[in-house]
Structure 1
Amino acid sequence: MDSADQNTHDSNPAIMITNERLPMSISPETLHTVARRVPAESILPYPLQMGQTTYDDPFKTIIPAIHRGPDVIYSPGAWFEAGDAWVFRREQDIRAIFMDTDHFSSKGISPYPSLVGEHWGVTPVESDPPFHRGYRNVLTPLFTPQRIMALDTQMRGYVRSFIEQFKDNGECEVMRDLAARFPITVFLELFGLPLEEVDQFMAWEFDLLHNADMATMGAAVRAVKERLTVAMNERRNQPTNDFISHIVNSRIDGKLLNDDEAFGICFNLYLGGLDTVTTNIGWQLRHLANDLPLQERLRQNPTLIPAAVEEMLRAYSTVAMFRTCTKDVVVGGVPIRVGERVVVSTSIGSNDPDVFDNPTEVRLDRHQRHLGFGTGVHACVGARLARRELVITLEEFLAAIPTFKIDPGARILTHLGGVMQQDCLPLGWN
């Protein structure tokens, strides 16, 4: 156990732990309605709420505590700052909600457009069938196996160049020096944007996903839109072979995408393509720093790395999504009413002990499917690229860096919310 895991925890399974107890406020009308469906002890704070942080490893503390609690809770304030939501803990219920587009909608799950007074959607994440398919088809050609493999040499070169900058120092701060820079560099390359803009896009990404100040978040949305809109206009007039050119010149049913549709798709790829990979690089290297036998096993047997990446994608699934109920439905024995919101957390679902024996253990021989990239029609369209980025990162890191550990005394802050990401990961080696 590293030093970031050595804090004292509240072990009461009825209270999902977090470093700070969240304020609870619920109207008498809502309380009366909800209390008829779940017991009072199931009305609880949601500890993974946007804006919350912890110095504990949430996968060793908060997630197991959730699984010691009720199968479903009703949580005031779980829906950003604005509203309440149901939170399910069982993998089968979370998977069912992901799959059920008849009763649950993805529209309006993102706060970003409203923060700047606009109405575009983060597409195709926020689109429902049948419209979702058209937007998804725009993206599918960008992520074929052939296209991903064609990037292999270039991506490997990027990782090697980043590692080269710190490998002889005996230490690095992984999140800053590698985990954030690599996927953003790949994103800029694919979008045909200058690689010199890495730091700016990193800063915007943090403000969008890891802070709870809506003014700061809104400023980042506005800045990203201004930057990408300039590039979109350039590609309409002078298309190249990059992702932006493909998107702005795509058609659905013969109709060219409008500005909002094209930007929504670009914005979706920006968020999804960066943060998932950054986050998972951090969690996977943190795990290997604490599991030296597995670290050495992978170093000696690199053919096992793809299996290790897949298992750690399960153990450290990091994304939570939201859905809005569009028709009354029963999930996990609890009636959900029209207009109510639900949290579907891959972190919770992929660590359900009823499905995965001793889920905190990383076992390369597991073969169960997990929720790391979601499931159903909204499963991550870039999952193939993300997996390849993660495999390349571990292959190159383990080949270049000898046995590494977390620096003694390190305090690693994890930002919770939509994507659970560490703010730093200081590693050292001889």
Structure 2
Amino acid sequence: MGDWATDFDIFDPEYVQHPFAIWDELRQVCPVAQSARWGGSYLLTTHADVLSTAHDVDRFSSSSVLVVPVPFTYDEHGNRSRPVINADPPEHGPERRLMLPFFTRLAAERYREPTREMCRRLLLQFVDDETVDVAQDYARQIPTRVIADILGLDPERGEEFTEWVRGALELGLMDSEILRRSREAVESFLDREIERRREEPGDDLISFLLTAEIHGQSMPLHVLRSTLSLMLVAGIDTTWSAIGAALWHLARHSQDRRRLVAEPELIPVAVEEFLRAYSPVTMARVARADATVGTTHVEAGARILLNFPAANRDPAVFDRPDEVIVDRGVNPHIAFGTGIHRCLGANLARMEMQVAIEEFLGAIPEFELSDPAAVAWTGGQVRGPRHVPVRILERPGRP
């Protein structure tokens, strides 16, 4: 790769595998990088620029939040398929408020014990194994089943859900045919689920949104379908990546792992630090008119990448930003975004991460990477480890 400041590539293997040094360099020389790749965009690397741009809904639109421009899709009536994450004010507020009851801290607690039981069942599946891929066999399985429960879907279809996730947020961003097939599969599946709820309503989110109203009107079908698609796809990939990154870290840092085993009450604090240090998500905004970000001029229509992971390693905000400090006291990270589009599922993701780590360390307190070279990360919209093979060194009562 040449000059990251003028020709960055979010899919470049070096960027995916080793982004931290790149962001450090860019903060010093830019700090807003530019690139003509993947449709052209600007990459923000400081906490201040990311924060101000995310909050400035008057100058920067959420109409297109993917890091690569992809064609909009439309229903048979010509309505653009658009989830709430792509809505700007004034449409955004009422649509988001409809779903808030399902994602409050109290609502997330409803799933804590079912998630704990699920983690224990997953751990039993490799109770006799010497090695396990904690990203594939553990981290990936957890959000798939939780989001299926919230939407009232069959959790046994998790493999299909994962394939759609990769098609929408990973492989499909570089291959339009994969993206098209994934979109069609998700929409067709959700159309069937929506019709089933019309006939047999339940207590899930799909049933709720079918009967909910905005200003006395039902949520339009194209918005409903797109919002449910977002919940299914984004709800799986981001949490899968976050849990996988945390376990990857613990496999490499025995002092942190052993401290959390000895002090499990510290795990919620450590989760916040893992979120800061290994934030998975980068989002985009579109400049409504010519604007200035920091000291950089951007033209109307330009795509601005809100690099939350880089913002969370900004030394202007975080002490020793490149160190993972599991008992970090002051931690104003923005791993879940910031502003009106802050992640709706933040409470749910925190709970899943806490339980996943608690249960894993309780069952397998000693483990290490079995093959560091086999660890594989994905990048682009969501950065996270897809394969983390570990060697199990100890189980309680079975050294």
Q: Does 1:352 align with 2:309?
A: no
The one-letter amino acid of 1:371's match is I
Distance of 2:154 and 2:224 partners within structure 1: 20
Per the alignment, residue 333 of structure 1 pairs with: 295
Task: Pick one of 222, 237, 243 that aligns with 2:205.
Answer: 243
Q: What one-letter code is carried by the residue in structure 2 that aligns with 1:313?
A: L
2:180 matches 1:224: no
Please point out which of 166, 169, 194 is paired with 2:129. 169
Find the aligned partners of 1:412 and 1:384 in 2 and give their Cα distance.
28
Please give the residue correspondences for 1:363-402 in structure 2 after superposition, counting only pairs within 5 Å: 363=325, 364-402=327-365
Indicate the residue corresponding to 2:49 in structure 1: 93
What secondary structure sits across from 2:323 in the alignment?
A: coil
Distance 2:17 2:368 in 1: 16
Q: Does 2:112 match 1:152?
A: yes
The answer to whether residue 376 in structure 2 is matched with residue 419 in structure 1 is no
1:28-107 matches, within 5 Å, as 42=5, 44-49=6-11, 52-54=12-14, 57-77=17-37, 81=38, 83-107=39-63
Contact 1:59–1:360 (Cα < 8 Å) also in 2: no
Deviation at 1:168, TM superposition (A): 2.6
What is the percent sequence identity of the aligned residues?
29
Q: 1:57 to 1:113 in 2, by over 3 A?
A: closer
The residue number in structure 1 matching 2:170 is 210
Provide the C-alpha distance between the structure 2 equivalents of 1:250 and 1:294, rounded to a whole number of angstroms.
46
Q: Tell me, which stretches of 5 or more residues in structure 1 are unaligned?
A: 1-9, 17-41
Can you list the C-alpha shifts for 1:31-73, whole angstroms capped at 9, x where unaligned?
A: xxxxxxxxxxx4x222324xx4459743544443434442112
What one-letter code is carried by the residue in structure 2 that aligns with 1:369? P
Q: Residue by residue, what CA displacement relative to the aligned partner does 1:149-169 show, whole Å, maximum 9, x if unpaired?
A: 121111111111111111331
SS across alignment from 1:327: coil
Q: Which residue number in structure 1 is paired with residue 396 of structure 2?
A: none
Over residues 58-109 of structure 1, what are the superposed CA-to-partner deviations in whole Å (9 max), with x where a residue is unaligned?
Answer: 35444434344421122112xxx3x211112111001100111010000133
- The equivalent of 1:274 in structure 2 is 236
What residue number does 1:120 align with?
80
Q: What is the CA–CA distance in structure 1 between the aligned matches of 2:16 and 2:292, rounded to whole Å?
A: 34
Would you say how many aligned residue pairs link Structure 1 and Structure 2?
386
Alignment of 1:174-185 (within 5 A): 174-185=134-145
How far apart in 1 are the matches of 2:140 and 2:183?
19
2:370 paired residue among 407, 411, 427: 407
Structure 2: tracts of 5 or more residues without a match: 394-399
| Cα distance between partner residues in 1 of 2:212 and 2:300 | 35
What is the identity, as a one-letter code, of the residue corresponding to 1:365?
A: R
Q: CA deviation at 1:202?
A: 1.1
Q: Tell me, yes or no, if the aligned pair for 2:141 and 2:158 is still in contact at 8 Å.
A: yes
Q: Is the 8 A contact 1:123 1:135 kept in 2?
A: no
Report the Cα distance in structure 2 between the residues aligned to 1:248 and 1:113, rounded to whole angstroms: 28
Q: Contact 1:319–1:418 (CA<8 Å) still a contact in 2?
A: yes
Q: Distance in 1 between matches of 2:16 and 2:180?
A: 29
Segment of structure 1 superposing worse, 57-66 or 119-128: 57-66
Structure 1: distance between partners of 2:215 and 2:261 = 50
* 1:380 aligned counterpart, secondary structure: coil
